[in-house]
Structure 1
Amino acid sequence: MSITLPKPIADYVAANARLDVDGMLKPFTDDAVLTDNGRRFEGQAELRSLLEEAVIPVRAIFTPDAVREEGDQVVVEGPAHGDFKGSPLRFTYRFTLFDDAIRAVDITG
């Protein structure tokens, strides 16, 4: 099933598939906020640390299979697979976009 994602989200997903940290960070605003199951990360430096410590080592790749809009958010769902316990796991990403960039994302599993 093919889905169409807004450009900054599509860019993030494509970079994640390559496990490219710089590419994953590029679509985010400088002051972006990422919340991962209640843990909050703010700004490019904290996002980079999260990606380098929690995504890259376990080769976690998110593959969206559903997208919808809810108010001012773009909700993207799908499995993530990698070298971690329980793989694949299903996640929901709630993106808030601003000026063709990701301002915030809330990730729940």
Structure 2
Amino acid sequence: MSTDQPQTIAPEALPEAVTGFLKAHRAHDVATALSFLHPDATVTDEGKTHQGAPAIEAWMTRSAGEYTYTSELTGAQKTDADRYVATHHLEGDFPGGVVDLHFRFSLGDGLIGDLRIEP
């Protein structure tokens, strides 16, 4: 499967590491979310990259209290054997108030090695 031709999949077909991370992230359960990441994983959000558990934990803790919003998983795609996209529709008190964010996951050994969050 080519990386430029993603395949639409049912959200429940996303790998356990992705669904577990997203559930914990929505619940602001940082410890559980971190358990789905490689220890040296990277997360890129709002143009900033956070590498390793301590940096990702600090990002998650900060971002959890920054805004109030609702998040709905509206779509999922499989890009290749280890890459998935989960699309979320957010509405809240952040600038703009409404956005569709794409959580782009790269997996390795059943864990998330890289996550990029972007519109």
The TM-score range, normalised by the shorter chain, is: 0.7 to 0.9
1:37 equivalenced with 2:37 (yes/no): no
> Which of the two has higher C-alpha Rg?
2
Question: C-alpha offsets along residues 10-54 of structure 1, whole Å, 9 cap, x if unaligned?
Answer: 101111222211122110010001111321110000001111112
Q: Does the residue aligned with 1:85 lie in a helix, a strand or coil?
A: coil
Aligned to 1:63: 72
Alignment of 1:1-109 (within 5 A): 3-4=11-12, 5-59=14-68, 62-71=71-80, 72-109=82-119
Aligned-residue identity in percent = 22
Q: Which runs of 5+ in 1 are unaligned?
A: none
Measured in 1, the distance between the counterparts of 2:102 and 2:64 equals 16
Q: Which runs of 5+ in 2 are unaligned?
A: 1-9
- The structure whose residues are more often strand, as a share, is 2
Measured in 1, the distance between the counterparts of 2:69 and 2:113 equals 22
Q: Deviation of residue 91 (structure 1)?
A: 0.2
CA contact (8 A) 1:68 1:74 kept: yes
RMSD between superposed Cα atoms in Å: 1.9
Q: Does the residue aligned with 1:91 lie in a helix, a strand or coil?
A: strand
Q: Does the residue aligned with 2:11 lie in a helix, a strand or coil?
A: coil
